[in-house]
Chains A and B, each alone.
Chain A
């Protein structure tokens, strides 16, 4: 988790632009460009594609996400909750004699404990994902770019944020241009 790089733009200064946006036409171009940007050592940048491009993660050098840990913990909580709920309500708080059976039996408790595990874990997965991705976030500087609308259809982009420590208006633009982009534009914050 520590290595997660929150992709935010909150701390942008109004004067400075958000960053530079480069458009690509093919997966290959995107991946190749990504590798370059990665190798240049940029940290506050991201690439965009209408679908999950295999290999792009490696190309960008992303670490494994901590989502599984969240989900596991959520699931564990659910399981314990399910068991305790059944044990306490039927076994401790108001015990009934039902069909002469013991007040609490593990086999009987399994189905509900299981369902609770799944339920909690599932919420963990969705909310965890949204949380780590900083979603929902309806406003974002990139949405100002008309070009960027095709990011969800058939075009591929790389955006390097101005807030990146080694960002330099000219160098970065040059870099983006010669990694095979079809267009590079500046996106204001």
Chain B
């Protein structure tokens, strides 16, 4: 495998760019156009939030007149086999998040990773990649990453080398060998890595009395527990949404917040295609606050977490009593008392009806927020409805046989008891994200020796005696299993930039292993698992090549629910909810959709990514229902003091339609103190409100308005809206974002075409005909789940800068593709619509005619090209763009260059300078690449040969790109689809991007008339 050799000589190769940036001429020239001192005169806040990233190209791009400084060409001394300088290569690897692997293909350019894509061979990726995975590219080049080992003694820090650490470890752990490991404890993140499992076993072998604890703040602990209760063994449900006709989610977000989310999203889309001819899936969601799943649900009801058990009971009752479903262990008496929570009667009735009618094709899912008994009942119903084997499989938990790890609570107990003298923390950031009531930070100070392996010198590192830099997952060898057990090998794309080590390497070092490098460790594990004898090298090679180890997916296990468990669950559910402190609200603590549990806090891309639901960037907000906000007398942006679990936090309110009354939702992961330049003190740290007892929902939270304000940086401002604007929006929405119900569509397939009527269109001149390849795009609103993956993919592909909170507030965000989110219906019961909006590539583009310097004009293949180096920045094109998809560099957003971060840039895309307009051009660089290849091979460009970044990563394949003149291409077919429409067609700008209307599939006549609103 060439990747190793490539990366070894890699770092030297790209020094050239940095050198260039260091040459005096270059500096002087940069000085001439973008003087550094000026930033002194800009408000510090603004300055601070500018991200310091750019490629050397930009300054050159700005100056055409003078002869630019001498540029050095630094060739390899020994060019690796089969590598051509300047030719991107792709390598398969995996990213582990929340204990499950996500398969990736990483593009490497001259030995440096520049782009992350999904791995089509991987069951949990299927070619898609989440926003988190995409953003890993920014993460690896983060200049704030820890660069050296630190040993802390008497509050003083000493920089150390790995050699020092090896020496220390050798003699330090020797002492524990004698004591059979008493006093030694390890706190790791849950991992699916067989190698880590193997090393863990060996460690516990070498140190029998050592404690191995695991902690991660955002794991779904209640599901495994519920499943275990029901089936009496540790099982893992594998969902198949594509096979389901009815899916019901209870405070669950399977298409976004789940290790298999990408696969689920794909399944959802497949089950929703009216063209498929099968009965279209109907999606039910009962949840306290809007999730993405709720956003696309056909039937949604907002219920407080405490009301979920009652809802389930009511459902069980309806199913058993009305639809005659037999569920063993049901205690009819208890059940008869079950009443659905106020407002959910219709929901329960319809859901029960559909479930009963779709036995074997139904699927119920509960989320982390739901209590264990809810999970028990949900899985019991899945079983009772005969869905096991069709829509849900149960596989053995891959590490079921190894002893269950200690919980962090347990670990703290022994810490408090002073039983731990050496604590090794493998990744994670417990000081920041452990439940507040454990007081881990204090306890940690009491531990004589604490070693923290971490990518950053974070909150935890600062309290440990040793900090050892961790390698980024793109820098290290490793292995991990996907949700369904499929094994993958993670291979590094680049040598550790900051001399970091992976967890397995550290453990091996502690064990005094002589082969302490990841490559050997992983190979050793694989050897152990490989079918005995020959062909290992072949297996190894194939595994690296395909990104998965063949036939390692776990087999479904036959199992049956235990009636006793069901009975117990019903009893538990029937018990009146623990309304501790009836006075307050229920405070729901959820992982953030952008920074997750806080680990991505230093990623500018993710911080600036608008939350799919609230469109808030650079903050976590306190989500309140319209009624509650009214009761409290707060509006969006008002700072509210939240008191719960004896702690308090101040958060800006955000009034969210469709939020359950009596529930306030906040996301975790903000308010970091040691995240880095980007992540520090962004938002508020809500972990303070979290306790071991109530990790997800805190009862009786007290909210008091402070009277102060904190402006939320929303990319879509729906709140400070006056009557005029509101009315206009109500009238426009049905034409802009078209949707109808499945029934009316089946009744009249042309219904979408009739939704908008406008005067006949004609031109004052003879319209030109477009021959040859003509690019176009179709976006299926029926598949889009609003997950933002496309936004980050585009940002990574096209070198789009991050501008910071202030600039977003000023309306200057830069993402080329945005996902518009609209609400319809009464604020209480509002439904949601997503609409991704890239450049429409209008044939009669209004932006082109107004540009005085012809910097934007049409290409032969019908693209609306944007020539950055010609643009003088009048911003006239943006003014005249009806879709407002053009973005302007108001400042030099690439001002301060960190040598490392330049490496991240896609060399095939110009880095735009200050004062230049930019926008989506259907990934023109990919089109050009394909065009040239095709020409050289003397053939036309193949159907599907070109894939845009957004299309490539879309989990639900909502985005389709291709040649409109090729009747075989999918996009051409979709254009003919009777759901297809052009937004603002009445302007006669002839957009090349068309939308396919969304079909809602309500369970019954709508409760409220569908009136559009925000």
Q: Which residues of A contact B (CB under 8 A)?
A: 96-102, 105
Is there an interface contact between B843 and A100, defined as CB atoms closer than 8 Å?
yes
Q: Is the CB of B765 within 8 A of A98?
A: no
Check B854 against A99 for contact (C-beta < 8 Å): no
Contact residue among B763, B767, B854 (Cβ-Cβ distance under 8 Å from A96): B854
Q: Are A97 and B849 in contact (CB under 8 A)?
A: no
Say yes or no: is B768 at the interface (Cβ < 8 Å to chain A). Answer: yes
Q: How far is the CB of B189 from the nearest CB of chain A, in Å?
A: 55
Q: With A99-B849, A102-B765 given, can you name 9 additional A-B contacts, CB distance below 8 Å?
A: A96-B857, A97-B860, A98-B857, A98-B858, A100-B763, A100-B768, A100-B844, A100-B845, A101-B849
Within 8 A of A (CB), among B749-781: 763, 765-768
**A97 & B854 in contact (Cβ 8 Å cutoff):** no
User: Which residues in chain B, 803-858, are within 8 Å of chain A measured between CB atoms?
Assistant: 843-846, 848-849, 854, 857-858
Q: Is the CB of A98 within 8 A of B854?
A: yes
A98 CA / B849 CA spacing, docked (Å): 6
Q: CB-nearest residue of chain A relative to B850?
A: A99
What per-residue 1/0 map shows which CB atoms of B983-1008 lie under 8 Å from chain A? Answer: 00000001000000000000000000
Shortest Cβ distance from A112 into chain B, in angstroms? Answer: 12
Instruction: Output the nearest chain A residue to B763 by Cβ-Cβ distance.
Output: A100
- Rounded to whole Å, the gap between the CB of B882 and the closest CB of chain A is 13
By a CB distance below 8 angstroms, the chain A residues around B859 are 97
Asked whether A99 lies within 8 Å of B846 as measured between CB atoms, the reply is: yes
What residues of chain A lie closer than 8 Å to B763, measured between beta carbons?
A: 100
What are 16 A-B pairs with beta-carbon distances under 8 A?
Answer: A96-B854, A96-B857, A96-B858, A97-B768, A97-B857, A98-B848, A98-B849, A98-B857, A99-B848, A99-B858, A100-B763, A100-B768, A100-B843, A100-B844, A100-B858, A102-B766
Within the complex, what minimum Cβ distance (angstroms) separates A80 from chain B? 23
Give the distance to chain A from B655, nearest Cβ to Cβ, in Å. Answer: 42
Q: Please, how many angstroms separate the alpha-carbon atoms of A72 and B175 in the complex?
A: 106
Contacts of A100 in B (CB 8 A): 763, 767-768, 843-845, 858, 990
Q: How far is the CA of A99 from the CA of B857 in the complex (A)?
A: 7
Closest A residue to B847 by beta carbon equals A99
Which residues of B from 445 to 495 have beta carbons under 8 Å from A?
none
Contact partners of A97 in chain B: CB under 8 A: 768, 857-860
CA distance A102 to B765 in the complex (A): 7
Inter-chain contacts of A99 with B (CB < 8 A) = 844-846, 848-849, 858
Residues of B within 8 A of A101 (CB): 765, 844, 849
Which residue on chain B has the smallest CB distance to residue A107? B764
Whole-angstrom CA separation of A105 from B765 in the bound complex: 9
Chain B positions near chain A (C-beta within 8 angstroms)? 763, 765-768, 843-846, 848-849, 854, 857-860, 990
Give A105 to B843 CA distance when docked, in angstroms.
Answer: 18
A100 to B849, CA, bound (A): 9
Per DSSP, chain A at the interface is loop
Bound-state Cα–Cα, A102 to B858, Å: 12
Q: Choose among A96, A97, A99, A105 the residue with the greatest number of B CB atoms under 10 Å from its CB.
A: A99
Listed from nearest, the 10 A-B pairs whose CB atoms lie closest are A97-B858, A99-B849, A100-B844, A96-B857, A99-B848, A98-B848, A99-B844, A102-B765, A100-B843, A96-B854
Report the nearest A residue to B864, measured CB to CB: A99
Complex Cα distance, B849 from A105, in Å, reads 13
A90 to chain B, nearest CB (A): 8
For residue B766, which residue of chain A has the nearest CB? A102
Q: A98 to B848, alpha carbons, bound, how many Å?
A: 6
CA distance A96 to B859 in the complex (A): 8
Question: What residues on A are CB-neighbors of B845 within 8 Å?
Answer: 99-100
User: In the complex, what's the smallest C-beta–C-beta distance from A137 to chain B, in angstroms?
Assistant: 43
| Shortest CB distance B863–A (Å) | 10
In angstroms, Cα B765 to Cα A4, docked, is 52
Residue of B nearest to A98 (CB): B848
Bound together, the chains give a CA A35 to CA B845 distance in angstroms of 70
Q: Whole-angstrom distance from the CB of A6 to the nearest CB of chain B?
A: 46
Instruction: Give the docked Cα–Cα distance between A119 and B848 (Å).
Output: 28
User: Complex Cα distance A108/B843, Å?
Assistant: 19
A163 to chain B, nearest CB (A): 57
CA distance A98 to B768 in the complex (A): 11
Instruction: Collect the chain B residues with CB atoms within 8 Å of residue A96's CB.
Output: 854, 857-858
Bound-complex Cα distance A96 to B858 (A): 7
A115 to chain B, nearest CB (A): 15
Enumerate chain B residues within 8 angstroms of A105, measured Cβ to Cβ: 765
B452 to chain A, nearest CB (A): 59
Query: Which single residue of chain A is at the shortest CB-CB distance from B765?
Result: A102
In the bound assembly, the distance between CA atoms of A98 and B850 in angstroms comes to: 9
What residues of chain A lie closer than 8 Å to B843, measured between beta carbons?
A: 100
Which B residue's beta carbon lies closest to that of A105? B765
Residues of A within 8 A of B860 (CB): 97
Chain A residues whose CB sits within 8 angstroms of the CB of B846 once the complex forms:
99
Q: Hey, which chain A residues are within 8 Å of B765, CB to CB?
A: 101-102, 105
A109, chain B: closest CB distance, angstroms: 14
Name the residue in A96, A97, A101, A105 with the highest tally of chain B Cβ atoms < 10 Å from its Cβ.
A97
Report Cα–Cα, A99/B768, bound state, in Å.
10
User: Which residues of chain B are near A98, meaning CB under 8 Å?
Assistant: 848-849, 854, 857-858
Output the nearest chain B residue to A96 by Cβ-Cβ distance: B857
A100 CA to B990 CA in the complex, in Å?
10
The answer for the CA separation of A97 and B849 in the assembled complex, in Å, is 9
Report Cα–Cα, A6/B486, bound state, in Å: 103
**Least CB distance, A103 to chain B, in whole angstroms:** 10
Alpha-carbon separation in the docked complex, A96 to B864 (Å): 12
Residues of chain A contacted by B849 (CB below 8 angstroms): 98-99, 101
How far apart sit A186 and B766, CA to CA, in the bound complex (Å)? 77
Q: Tell me the bound Cα distance from A75 to B958 in angstroms.
A: 60
Which chain B residue has the least Cβ–Cβ distance from A90? B854
Q: Which residue of B lies closest to A102 (CB)?
A: B765
Complex contacts, B990 vs chain A, CB 8 Å = 100
In the complex formed, the residue of B with least CB distance to A100 is B844
Residues of chain A within 8 A (CB-CB) of B857 are 96-98
Chain A positions within 8 Å of B848 at CB level? 98-99
| Nearest chain B residue, comparing its CB with the CB of A94 | B854
Residues of chain A within 8 A of B766, CB atoms compared: 102
* Highest count of chain B CB atoms <10 Å: which of A98, A102, A105: A98
Smallest CB separation, A104 vs chain B (Å): 11
CA distance A181 to B990 in the complex (A): 82
How near does chain A come to B713, taking the closest CB pair, in angstroms?
Answer: 34
B167 smallest CB distance to A (angstroms): 69
